[in-house]
Amino acid sequence: MSHHIIDIQDLHYRYPDGTRALNGVSMRIIHGESVGIVGANGAGKSTLLLQLSGIFLPTDGSINIGEIRLTKKTVREIRRKVGFVFQDPDDQLFMPTVFEDVAFGPLHLGWALENVEKSALKALEQVNCLHLKDRPPHKLSAGQKRAVSIASVIAMDPDILVLDEPSSNLDPRSRRQLIQLLKTFDHSKIIASHDLDMVLEVCERTIILENGRIAADGKTQELLTDEKLLEENGLEKPLSLQYQRLRIAK
């Protein structure tokens, strides 16, 4: 399944105002892998994600999704493969009803109408939100909005899911449901988050970013238990692991 490999080589990005957000990031993510991208505020997480969906194009370096290199010409093709879930569901959900929103992607990929409907309903069912299909998005709770945002992306049948802070603003139960939901997907997943406990549960691999560079890349269990490494990068050991240590000390 070579066509689902994400290959990023020496990626640089400078914002138009001169801020250097990414300074030489390289990584290779294989099919079905779940990768957590963590790092302090301003480390470059969001910029990296925006690059992956072709919203910003690299200043230098390259991104390959499968055999396709991301350029201005291939952007539409890349976006079909990469499903991007924005941080704020109010940005993501722009149609007047949930169903129309979920159907928007497939419809604009030019699918046959019956497939559009089937795919939208299936995506809503996958996130347990089928009963919300005729509601307007402003009537949903934060957890429902998040689930519908994810449905709106998986309805397009992407190979790769990219999520920016998926657990932000969720209450504990909605967060738990989100984690369970993310575990059910067999897409490749790239998740940027400050919620290290969620990363610990969902992602087997973690990449720590620091000042636009990769500070560490390895197994989540190893990186997130390395207190020295975490502290150097403005992070902290996940709460669930801190709790474990307390229990042992008793």
Partner 1 sequence: MTAFDSTFLDLGRLDSLSYNNTIIHRIDPRAKLIVTVVFIMAVVSFPKYALTGLIPFFTFPILIAYLAELPIGFLFRKLVIVSPFALFIGIFNPFLDREVITRLGFMNITGGWISFASVILRFILTVSAALILIATTSFPGICNALDRLKVPRIFVIQLMFLYRFIFVLTEEALRMVRARRIRAVDQKHPSFKLFVQMLGLLFIRTLDRAERIYLAMQSRGFDGEVRTLKKLSFTFGDLAFVCLFLLLFAILRLTNSSQLLGNLLLKAFQ
Closer to partner 1 by Cβ: residue 1 or 113: 113
Residues 178-237 that bind partner 1 (CB under 8 A): none
Question: Measuring CA to CA, which residue among 173, 126, 127 is closest to residue 146?
Answer: 127
The window from 6-14, 109-117, 209-217, 229-237 that contacts partner 1 (CB under 8 A) reads 109-117
Which position among 42, 136, 218, 234 is part of the footprint of partner 1 (CB under 8 A)? Answer: 136
User: Is there binding between residue 140 and partner 1 (CB under 8 A)?
Assistant: no
User: Is there binding between residue 84 and partner 1 (CB under 8 A)?
Assistant: yes
Shortest approach of partner 1 to residue 222 CB, angstroms? 33
Which position among 25, 86, 165, 210 is part of the footprint of partner 1 (CB under 8 A)? Answer: 86
The window from 25-33, 61-69, 151-159, 185-193 that contacts partner 1 (CB under 8 A) reads 151-159
Closer to partner 1 by Cβ: residue 79 or 205: 79
State the amino acid at position 91 in one-letter form: D
Closer to partner 1 by Cβ: residue 54 or 238: 54
Burial of 2 (0-12, 13-18, 19+ CB in 10 A): exposed
Token match 């993510």: residue? 29
For residues 189 and 32, the answer to whether their CB atoms sit within 8 Å is: no
User: Is there binding between residue 76 and partner 1 (CB under 8 A)?
Assistant: yes
**106, two tokens:** 């497939």
Which position among 27, 95, 142, 179 is part of the footprint of partner 1 (CB under 8 A)? Answer: 95
For residues 127 and 144, the answer to whether their CB atoms sit within 8 Å is: no
User: Is there binding between residue 107 and partner 1 (CB under 8 A)?
Assistant: yes
**184, two tokens:** 């059910």
DSSP per residue over 11-49, as a string? EEEE-TTS-EEEEEEEEEE-TT-EEEEE-STTSSHHHHH
